[in-house]
Structure 1
Amino acid sequence: MLLQAWLSLLLAPARGQFQFEIPAEMLQGMMGGGGMMGGGGGGRKGAEWPKTENSEISAEFEWLVNTEWEGKTSKYLLLRDGFVESPLKECEPEGHCLWAANNGRVLINTPKLKVVKFSVEGLDGVDRKKLENKDETELKKVSLVMEKPSKSSGKKGKLDFKRVAMADEQDSMGADLYKLLDITEDAEQSSIKSKFRRLSVSMHPDKGGDPKAFNDMREAYEVLGDPEKRRQYNLGGMQLVKNVEIAWKEVEGQKAQMDAQLNQVPKNHPQYAMFKQQIEQQKRQFDKAKVESQIQQKLQSEELEVMVPISASELYSGVEKKVFVFPRLMICRGCKEDPSRPECQDCGRCPPEKVQVPKYGMTPFGRQVVGMREKEQESRERCREVGVEVPLRVSKGAKQGASLKVLPNVGHQTPGKFPGKVNFKVQRGSKEDSYRIAEADLHTVLHISLEQALFGFTISWQHLGEETVTITKERLLQPDEVLRLKGKGLVESGSKRGDLYVRLAVDLPEAPPGEKALTLRAPGSGVQAAKLEMEDEVRIEEGSAWREWVAREKASTYKVGKAKTEL
């Protein structure tokens, strides 16, 4: 009955997942409380963030991710998502130790030591760009110093930079496979095969060829000679080819595990036929096309959102074809092997690699791989930005965050990953605009002289589209007077448009050098040119627009002397 219970648990439908994982908690119960994956946690509780502390890793401290820091008695590897790897026993169960970095300091949180706060020293003397690129020379200039001294020694502890958690040097070939075969990236599969045959003859060790060069050439052909592996190499480098191979090995291992389960049941057992039918049914989930799709999904980068600046003019009239240049990261092939090559000089560090790491657990059949997990490591590969032209259609009055286009497989190339989707979205307004956008309304500042404010003016300019706006005033009634021009804003709904708000800002004149007086003269007659400037930030509260008072934020301090009291 116990064997039957085990098999009924192990043969439960996987619900479309190609990964056949056995929960560690289930195995522990089945083995009478035995070891869990990787040795188990012994019931110890992991660290938790108190409500008084901020557990975020702010963007300014992104350079700390995947770096290891060492003190006199301990060291800490700071992983993404706020986890810490450390030889400390309390940190051995995965996720039991945490870290954060914000408000100018670094926090390490362990179950025993609780939250320890560090200040970052040495940042003033580093090249910030190199630091963010995790340049080890720059990282060595920085130290993490405890804010409070130790109770035992009375001194402040310090953590120094130890290393960057890099992908294994032997994980994949660093050379450009196309150059190893002396072919172009657009070569036909037939020409790759014929080229390999010729090189195999000329480079063979039996004919005096270099054995290492021959083996490298042969490994290059094993990838580029297979259309699917070639596609994987083009999209995510050799690490992606290896990750896919590991995923398929995982599938084969799960099949073998199912067969091993069935072999535990005697063939003359009354329920043998039922167990065999259940296993065969489970194996159907490993249909090649289905597994390929699941592997692609599992190894695909997350969808990327790219905000596209859309100017007020483009929002006013709409654009049938706007060409946006998307700065896509592309792997620099061969630069991992020799970053000093001339063609590698504009290449920086690639996004971190996601490598597949086996998870082990005790099963009724011994300690086995019960699944896989992803582990992030800084890549040794190099990447460069390549501008990709994306044609987009912008509708009149397009809303903030509205999707313009979704393109599959054009995300950043990441070693070990398939590129994900890119969702191009509307970012209303651009730096070149003279108008501040607030929903369907537009806000601008029209600068006028003191003479124009006192004696009147006529100012004209070309508004968005082909329309001309003319403003005539006999004189300014009050400082910062705001004029509302109805229907001159963006399309709100259907053909209805918002309004244009123009603030009249008076520019005070300066006396000529050496003069103590100003002579004001009425401006000449006729239409004068406009000097427009984008309005200060406009916020919407309870359906109404409010302009932030920037002048208040920039106010200078003026000290008033104490008045004497007369008796």
Structure 2
Amino acid sequence: MHENENARKSSSHFTPRNSKPKWDDRGLGNTCRFENGKMFFGGDPFDQFQNGGMDGGPGGSSSNADTTKLYETLGVNKSADAKEIKKAYRKLAVVHHPDKGGDEHKFKEINAAYEILSDPEQRAKYDRYGLEGLEGGAGGSGGHEDLFSMFFGGGRGGRRSSGPKRGEDVNHPLQVSLEDLYNGKMVKMAVSRQVLDGEPKMCTNCSGSGAVVELRQIAIGMVQQVRRKCPACTGEGYMAPKKRQREVLEVLIEKGMKNEAKIVFRNKADEKPNMEAGHVNFVIQQKPHPLFKRKGADLLITKTISLNEALCGFEWRITHLDNREIIIKSRSGEIIKAEKDNKTPFVKIVQGEGMPSHGNPFVKGDLYVLFTVEFPEDGDLKPDQIDMLRKILPGASMAIEYDPEVAEVAHLELGDVKNFGKGGVANHDRAYDSDEGGEGGSQQVQCQQS
């Protein structure tokens, strides 16, 4: 017999002496219960005590929940502090590590137990509700069902109580400049949320299930059973007076935070009866910067220089994100090319002048400078300047001796490599043939086989 049913039979608080709880014949897993001499179908009779501290609900620890298994796995008492838990974990991990001949399943149990008990919030939920109260599981598992399978060899079949559910999270985009992400900043954000203003009471329309079942006739002699959200409590199962509350949150933008990073304020979303409030997340939206482009912890700027600067040297001033003035200057004899030998853009870096790393702002990325060399336009150089450059610059073109009566001189025109292969008369001939149509074009010859 189901363990919850045993509990109901053994307690006169929930069932009158001369009545027995029955399973709902609709197969919804609900029970009938009595309140003030009236019979109610659906819901769990333990739900009415959830806020009164009785066992089995989020208001108190579950009497059926196992809250000692994880401590037994690590071989510590429930009163052990974080240091003792860590010490026990390290000792067991060395002994049971698969690389040292240990049992892999036992090693996974030890890891999962440590990850839960080393987290104060997860440990508090476990001490109160057992593995059932752990939202989303731990230790890389796929949820509390996987934890039950790990520690107890399978799920606890049938309907079982769970830890407190959590409401929906609320995401707020937060526009942040690159300067603020570089230097860090504290901003104050006002949020308005819905809070409970009284004791929650079970919805009598759905008996706390949050859903109602309706019968709809779809044909003669055919009835469809439809389950929909309870309109009285909007699917929450409980009802309580509510009010709006305004609160100012101090949002800390840490140095080096990335785009789309979340700053989480736990349980600051709307409150709902019989549920934990969801989280308020401020999502970083990095604003574009007129000078710097960012990728990870590195910054990039593009710089166009003249041919003179590329050959003879350059220097220019930039104002960094922390308002430092930096002079970027080429070394003596340094040549900036139009592109690298492998036809990629020519890039230089200033080490350590990128973004601070999130979590360790003392380690910074690099500042990349992507160069574009601007060549003179036709006619910009005068003949005497050309003669002077020919004498100064290495690799000057040598004059060729030729007979103008025999050799032909060809000059270059501006072209596009995309048109390579499209020249000549071949294309012209194809266009001509297609223009002829059916009459003047090629004739189709049909061969008849006798």
TM-score with structure 1 setting the length: 0.30
Higher share of residues assigned strand: 1
- The structure that has the greater radius of gyration is 2
TM-score with structure 2 setting the length: 0.37
